[in-house]
Every structure is written in C-alpha cells, then in structure tokens.
Amino acid sequence: MKNRFFSRMSVLTLVAVVLVSFSASAKRATITGRVLCDGKGVAGVTVTDGNVFTKTNEAGEYSLSSNLDYSHFVQITVPSGYEVPCEGAVPQFFHRLDRSGSNKQSFDFTLSKVDQSNYVVLTFADSHVLGGGTRSSHRDVERFNTQLIPVVKSYIDEQKAKGKPCYIVHLGDMTQPGGWPERRRDGRRGYGLDDYIRDMNIGTPVFSALGNHDHNPSPKGTVFDESTVYQSRANFMKMVGPAYYSFDIGREHYIVIDNTFVLTKDSGCNSYEGATSGYQYRVCEQQMSWMEKDIDLLDAKKYDRIVLCVHNPLHKGNGGSRMLRADRLIKAFKGFEMLVLSGHSHGDTTIRVEHNGKECIEIVHPSTAGTAWYTSWCVEGSPGCVEAFHFGGERIKRDFVPWGEAHEKGLTYRVYDNVHNKWHYPIKSSTGKKWSHARDIEESHYRDKPAIIVNIWGAYTCTFTESTGGTGNVDNRCYDLAYRDWYWDYYERSLNEEFEYGDRLRKANWQTPTNGRTHCWRYTPADPTAVVTVEAKDVWGNVIAKFTAQAAE
C-alpha cells in the first residue's frame, strides 16, 4: 500500500513538471532534503517549489526536479500537530533556492510537536503603517507599537496560559507602496516590510499575505502579464518569503494566496478583462495551478474545512462574485467547507453562501488601522482591531481585539437611543439614513418616530423584542453615528488647519463614512416607550450581544 502511495506521488510530481512550461534552455535543479522532528524523519509531508509537488518518504526524505526560471523557494506544508522554528516573526517553512543555476541543492526542515486540539489564529488586516505617508496620520507607527501591539501581546499571553497555541495571519496591506522603506520628501525614513517584520516579532509565528499596496509597481511603460507578474512581489519575497503557500493547524488546512494581479501599480482597481492599468482582483495562473494541486493532495477525512487567507474579498455583500475568474478558484474547493478570511474593504462584513454543495463563510475584516490611525474607529463604526478565531471547540468563536477607545472602555457594540444612550441629537426613524447629519436633517419631518440604532460588530443576525408585545420596523445598513459625525467634524477642522500637519485628515474615498455592512440596524418600535431587548448572534450561532434599549420615555 505504501509503495502504491509513493508511486502515485511520483506520477503527480511528473505530471506537475510537464504542466510547467519550460524551454530547452530552462535552468533546472534537483532539490533534495529531509523533514525532521527530534532528529527523526517525518513521512508524508508535502513539499513544493511553488509548481511541482512531492511528499516525504518513511525516512522523511524528499526529492523534486525544479525549473529555476519559475521557482524561487522550496517549502513544506507544515503538518497538523507540528510547528517550524521562526526567524524573528517569520516561520521557517521555506528555503530560498539558488537561482544562479546550481543543478543540485539540498535543504532540510525542522519540526517540533505541539498540541493543536484547541488553538487561536489572530488576523490583522490593512494596518497601513507608512511612517507618516500621504493620507495617513504621522502617528501611525507610534499607535501601532504603543497601543495595538501591547494589547495583542497581552491577549496572546492569556490564551497561551490556557494552553492554546496562537498564530498570526496578516491579510495584507502591511505597508505601502511595495513595502520598500523609501525616504519621504521631508527627509524622514518611511516604514517598510523590514520594519513590519521587526515590530511583529512578539513570540508568535506570523504568516503574511500580500495586499495590493505591498506590491511593486511595474517598470515605467510596461504592463505585467502572467509571465512577469511575479516581479510585482519582488520586495515581499525578498524581505518576507513566498507569496503563496499552505500549512495545517489542528483540523484546518490553511492556504495563503496573492489575489491581487498588478498590471502597472498598486492603486486603481480595474476589475474587467482586458484592463491595462492599475490592478485586478484575480489569481495568476501559476498560483491557481499550484492551489488546485495542493487541494487534490488532501485527505478530506483529516480536515473540517479549508481556510483561505487572501487580501481582496472573494464575494460581494450579496454573495455574488467579486473576483475575476472566481469560478475556477471556487471549483478547486469541491468537497470542503470553506472559511475565507479577507480584508481590503476596511469594514466588518460577514457573508454566507454555498459552493459545490458545501458551506462557505467569508469574514471581511475591518482595518487594523481604524481610519489609517487618525482614529481607532473604522468607516462603518467597527473598531480598529485584530480578530481572534478560536478553533477546536464545537463552534468557531471570534473575538475582536481592539485598540483605542473600544479597548479602553471594553466596548463590543454601540447603541444609540433616546433614554439611556442619548446622542447629541434625537434618534428618529430617518437618523443614520444619509452619510452626514446635515443630509439626515434635510429628509427628516414631523412624522418621524423615535428609534434605536445598534452597531454590533461581528453580528450576522439581530432580533428586537418589545416588552409590550409590539413589532416594529427594522432597517439594516444604516450609518454609525459616532464615526459619521466624527469624520465630518474632524475633516472640517483639518481644512481650517486646527491640527498639526501630520494629524490633518485628507479627504479620500476610503476614509469617508459608509453604512454598517451587515452589523448595523435601526429599529423603530411599534410602542416608542417599550423596553426593547436586542440580541445579536454571529454567523456560527454564538450569542455575542444582549442588552436593552428604549426609543422614548
């Protein structure tokens, strides 16, 4: 049986080699080595160069033929129940290939055993630490290091004390542009991926995905295509590691891919076939082929789900496709439940759909940077934060680990009513409908009724129960009042130069208020004086908030 297994792997490797295009002049190398734990070989570990695959034999040995024109790394899928050592914050599941043409190269990997029956994955998204760049507060580095990181480290220490190993996944846009610490016009050094790796070294493995702003722009006058787009990842690969890879933790198989296809630069999304500038939401052919093979090698009985970690969301809020050529990507996951962790949109959104007869849940993350570190709140009123996903129990559980006001006050939601949580103007059935208070007032009229607005980040469903038995009107996707009103006040004061230069807000579409995605509701009760019980659940059915509010006395 074992011989048949390894024979099958040899065939898969051969087929994969054939599928990789190469010319007679291709630089080829035989890559060999061992995967060891406590000095003993570990069998059945997946090894890949980003194109072809093989698995280790009984002695932990592997061998594969690599085309150095296409491959930059040899890497393993860290198996469940194991960890690899870290170099600083970066887990060493990979080695850099000598692409100069050496035809025989050897690399060993070291594993250590760990109990992953219960574990935590903490996710960062869109931290945008620039060192004071355009449209970003010049306090970004300070707040990242003095407000966010200590909170995250404290949370990790608490979980480790409970026996839960912790891992970090950053979903992209760590820095910008291209992650290279260029010097600013005022002479200050910008913040680069090298700084990010240094500051994330808090004793926990950090797995990173490329965001659009972590890419290199194309050389002037050129457009990246399938054969050259890897060059847009040059700085990331130099300072961090592979742009796409997989690893196992517990009963989850994690796949990290780069779903930003840079045509010319990191800004200006052109999500249509035939575009020749900006970037697109899509996966290049080399990654897509690699991912299909990676999934084909999985034994479905060993996994509860695949967790796909990407920067750009796969789905729109209504569940429709947001990516180009998404059908092929989704098809590759046949037979597996999917959990998609994404960012880019800077707001909290939960999407639940079905693909291939299996459930797919996508969690689109709020920005870790809040609104790029000017404020600790995001554009739809969720806090700038890291999210913590707990695996191994009956259900997945998610915690928000915020910095700033939400952390200081212990907030897990915001509620606006006219009795106990009075805002500085009355909450009515039209409040929060428009993107500014002034526009709300234009549409308000004497028929407006007292109402309640709740913003419960992480919520997927919310029920309202009146103490007097009535049933009112629920309106989803309204604006969070605190962020909306803060924005317009702060922006006006910035125009009046009431702040120091580095603290002035510069108007940009990604900073302006947006409605509450899937977690903000306005309820107009049938009986304005009724005490309304509000109960919210996340997408896994966990009750995450329960409280009372009252529209009028």
Q: Is the pLDDT of residue 292 over 50?
A: yes
| Across 175-179, 196-200, 351-355, least confident range | 175-179
**Residue 279 phi, psi (nearest 5):** -150, 170
Return the sign of the alpha-carbon dihedral for residues 466, 470, 471, 472.
negative
Q: Is the pLDDT of residue 20 over 70?
A: no
Q: Is the pLDDT of residue 7 over 60?
A: no
Region 274-291: mean pLDDT is: 96
pLDDT in tens, 52-95: 999 999 999 999 999 999 999 999 999 999 999 999 999 999 99
SS (H, E, C) 43-72: CCCEEECCCCEEECCCCCEEEEEEECCCCC
Residue 298, pLDDT score:
97
Region 146-158: mean pLDDT is: 98
**Residue 97 phi, psi (nearest 5):** -80, 150
Residue 508, pLDDT score:
79
Which of the pair, 210 or 100, is modelled with greater confidence? 210
pLDDT classification of 449: cutoffs 50, 70, 90: very high
Residue 136, pLDDT score:
74
Residue 21, pLDDT score:
41
Residue 182, pLDDT score:
55
Residue 402, pLDDT score:
98
Which of the pair, 435 or 169, is modelled with greater confidence? 169
Residue 13, pLDDT score:
45
pLDDT classification of 180: cutoffs 50, 70, 90: low
Distance CA 532, CA 467 (A): 6
Region 476-501: mean pLDDT is: 92
- The secondary structure of 182-237 as a DSSP string is PBPTTSPBPP-HHHHHHHT-SSS-EEE---GGGSPPPPTT----TTTGGGGGHHHH
Residue 497, pLDDT score:
92
If you ran DSSP here, which 8-state letter would residue 145 be given? I
Q: Is the pLDDT of residue 10 over 90?
A: no
Evaluate whether 192 touches 141 at the Cβ level (below 8 Å): no
Distance CA 266, CA 125 (A): 16
Residue 3, pLDDT score:
44
Residue 157, pLDDT score:
98
pLDDT classification of 443: cutoffs 50, 70, 90: confident
Highest mean pLDDT (candidates 8-22, 114-128, 311-325):
114-128
Residue 16, pLDDT score:
43
pTM: 0.93
Question: By C-alpha distance, which of 242, 144, 238 is closest to 191?
Answer: 144
Residue 2, pLDDT score:
41
% of the chain with per-residue pLDDT over 70: 92
Residue 56, pLDDT score:
98
Residue listed under structure tokens 């809020």: 317
Residue listed under structure tokens 């939601």: 413
| Across 12-16, 180-184, 214-218, least confident range | 12-16
Evaluate whether 49 touches 31 at the Cβ level (below 8 Å): yes
Residue 405 tokens read as: 């006001």
- How high does pLDDT run on average in the chain? 91
